[in-house]
Structure 1
Amino acid sequence: MNETIKKHLEEHQSVLSTLESLAPQIETVARHMIQALQNDNAIFWCGNGGSASDAQHLAGELIGRFIGNRIPLKSIALTVGGAEGSCIANDFGYDQIFSRQVEGLGAKGDVLVGITTSGNSENVLNALAVANQKQMTTIGLLGKGGGKAISLVNESLVIESNITARIQEMHITIGHILCDLIEEGLNLKA
């Protein structure tokens, strides 16, 4: 048992040590998000499985609060469950579940963050394509080299790992950093 724990912690530390090299891109992404929010635009998030949970988590940090009490920020996790999700999946296919929502809700100047550890989730790729057509800023929280998504985003944050769990851990770390930078950039810190 101890070897398994040690292996996970060592992998985590190894991948975490590479995040510093992404600092300039993280700052650029934060600036895009701050500008969108200053212009009364929204930040949309989407992903599958664990990445869907990360999308909901990070949207919640902004619409609710991250560190201190402040005004809610326009931040929405695109849904896969519920009536709207099952309607889109049934009528158009699961690969359109996010793109239909972006088409209906997104506007020029909004931000779409596509979270995919492989960079190849078809429904995220379709959402990014629609967001680009709508002149939204597209961000990719990616892994495994970035996959097809890397060519569809304005800014990419690619985690240097092929291990899904480590990629997800770094995505949430980056997400928390972005939330902090957004609150700081909007002068919302107490």
Structure 2
Amino acid sequence: MFNAVLNEHIQVVTSLQELESKINAAAELIIETMKRGGKILLMGNGGSAADAQHIAAELVVRYEKNRVALPAIALTTDSSILTATGNDFGFDQLFSRQVEALARKGDLVIGISTSGESVNIIRALKVAEEIGVDTIGLTGASGSSVAEIVTQNIAVPSSVTARIQEAHILIGHYWCQQVDTLPREQWA
């Protein structure tokens, strides 16, 4: 039974090779944002919220190398903002209100949605687009709504939520590794 899950995982992760140019283009967006002094805003629901927090932590604290702390904010962590927004405006605006308040030109917004159809992610990405902020989507194979909005979308070729999330965190770790390769003097 475990071997079946492991084989499915290996198949999905191996298929990411086909997305190498998109994954690298997204890494370059992250690096360019950081080099010019911008910040990264990340968001997701459920397990994708945990992924957003995980990636933000790797950027702020460190991944593998000691380096300058980089500005990254997971929009999933402030319970007062989240509950006030949900109560006063609705769950669909959970992240868009924060993007409106925090995103500025030169920043980057990353939306993580295994389905690619999360209304609150889509709405926030549209607000980012209106502000003129670059955006990255991390989705599953069916992520067409997010893909239509973002600067760069990486659609993991799977419909299994767990396999998509495993691939998302692998991609996030790769991005952090790429950030770690730059010399200290490159950061704004």
Same fold judged by TM-score > 0.5?
yes
1:163 matched to which residue of 2? Answer: 160
Identity level (%): 43
Q: Which amino acid aligns with 1:160?
A: P
Q: How does 1:33-182 map to 2 (within 5 A)?
A: 33-79=30-76, 81-182=78-179
d(CA) in 2 for partners of 1:89, 1:34: 32
SS across alignment from 1:17 = helix
Q: Does 1:187 align with 2:186?
A: no
Q: Judge conservation of contact 1:78–1:98 (CA < 8 Å) in 2.
A: yes
d(CA) in 1 for partners of 2:36, 2:105: 11
d(CA) in 2 for partners of 1:27, 1:144: 19
Query: Residues 23-69 of structure 1: CA distance to partner in whole angstroms, max 9, x if unpaired?
Result: 11111111111111111100110000000000000000000110021
Q: Identify unmatched segments of 5+ residues in structure 2.
A: none
Using the TM superposition, give the Cα deviation of residue 81 of structure 1 relative to its aligned residue in structure 2, in angstroms.
4.8
Match of 1:26 among 23, 34, 45: 23
Query: Residues 72-107 of structure 1: CA distance to partner in whole angstroms, max 9, x if unpaired?
Result: 001110026511111111111011010000000000
Q: Identify unmatched segments of 5+ residues in structure 1.
A: none
User: Hey, which bits of structure 1, 4+ residues long, moved more than 2 A?
Assistant: none
What is the root-mean-square deviation of aligned Cα atoms in Å? 1.0
d(CA) in 1 for partners of 2:103, 2:78: 19
d(CA) in 2 for partners of 1:88, 1:57: 23
Alignment size in residue pairs = 184
d(CA) in 1 for partners of 2:152, 2:183: 24
- TM-score of the pair, normalised by structure 2: 0.95
Using the TM superposition, give the Cα deviation of residue 145 of structure 1 relative to its aligned residue in structure 2, in angstroms.
2.5
Q: Which amino acid aligns with 1:65?
A: R
Q: Judge conservation of contact 1:113–1:138 (CA < 8 Å) in 2.
A: yes
Q: Judge conservation of contact 2:94–2:120 (CA < 8 Å) in 1.
A: yes
